[in-house]
Amino acid sequence: MPYRARFGRKMECVSLPPLSNFAICGGTHGNELTGVYILREMQKHNVEKVGSVSITTVLSNPRAVDACRRYTDRDLNRCFTDDLLSSPITESTPYELRRAQELNAHLGPKGSEEAVDLLCDMHNTTSNMGLCIIFNSADWLILHICKYLQSKITSMPVRALQMDLPLSEAFSVDSLGKHGFSFEIGPQPHGVLRADVFNTMKEAVDLTIEWLQQFNSGRTFEGGEVEAYTRWKTVHYPRDPTTDEITAAIHPQLQDNDFKLLQPGDPIFLSLSGETVKHEGDALYPVFVNECAYYEQKIAYHLTQKSTLTLPSINVKKD
């Protein structure tokens, strides 16, 4: 059950049940290669149990991985809403909807007591986002993991991004776990495997397992504050009104500047004919700037608000 983080007041230490099973997913998008190769290595070394934590490795979308494509029929990482998970399967059901239900049976069922304690899904983005830990609700466990990774990883910035949807509407594979989050690392082109990105993802996964072991063995993790970015609105590319074709590119001053505050008047698009379009409205933080997969929906980037969340100390509940 999620524990909502609150502002301001000093909180008492919270005790939570141990986390004994951890599922790591990769290849949810078949051309996001880091997760695919991390899984391959874990499976090669038969990583099944580390101390008190049993580990399940899952290649989410094997068909898409084989074809080195994001998906075959539809995006697997949008198939985990309650509605889609309970929709009847027929012969004409798209591959990814079937696969989502298989994964729900294996790692869930979503929202139930049988679901895996913690699920981590590995992704890449073409955007310059460094390491982003993406989760649905501000659950203290996940926020503590964020805090831990932020304190240990120095190879690139580590940030927390919150989606904040009701559980029934949560659509990504990590919503199957009792606690779930994704690691999103960029920039990396789809279909490319960069060593620096691989090494950071490996470090993040190893640190998560290390945290789980320490948590299970009774360590108290001190409370504190974590900055998180919460999705606020989506910005689409300017388009031709008749053909719906995109008519501008992300402006060079916005390109690669994910998480840099965008103020009213700052350039956001440069049209193909050379005109600059400027940001209007509130000052917000852009993320997923120029992500390849979002062209399909003509999405240029998302805007987020930054807030500081206060965490209580946590430790494992002793019997």
Annotated binding site: 29, 32, 123
Establish whether 184 is a catalytic residue: yes
**Interatomic CA distance for residues 140 and 147, integer angstroms:** 10
Which residues, including other chains, have CB under 8 Å from residue 151's CB and lie 6 or more apart? none
Answer yes or no whether residue 245 interacts with other proteins by CB under 8 A: yes
Q: φ, ψ for residue 181 (rounded to 5)?
A: -160, 165
Smallest gap, in angstroms, from Cβ of residue 27 to other proteins? 14
CA angle 151, 155, 160 (to 5 degrees): 55
Residue 148 is encoded by which pair of tokens?
Answer: 């831990």
**Interatomic CA distance for residues 37 and 23, integer angstroms:** 16
Q: Build a one-symbol-per-residue string for 259-278: x at contacts with other proteins by CB under 8 A, - elsewhere.
A: -----------x-x------
Please say which residue, 78 or 202, places its beta carbon nearer to other proteins.
202
**Interatomic CA distance for residues 63 and 242, integer angstroms:** 36
Smallest gap, in angstroms, from Cβ of residue 267 to other proteins? 10
Answer yes or no whether residue 305 interacts with other proteins by CB under 8 A: no
Answer yes or no whether residue 295 interacts with other proteins by CB under 8 A: yes
Closest CA to 186 of 163, 205, 158: 158
**Bond from prior residue into 109 cis (ω within 30 degrees of 0):** yes
Q: Build a one-symbol-per-residue string for 107-146: x at contacts with other proteins by CB under 8 A, - elsewhere.
A: -------------------x--------------------
Residue of 48, 169, 184, 280 marked active site = 184
Binding-site ranges for other proteins (CB under 8 A): 37, 40-41, 68, 126, 187-196, 198-199, 245-246, 249-252, 255, 270, 272, 290, 292-293, 295
The residues annotated as belonging to the active site are: 184
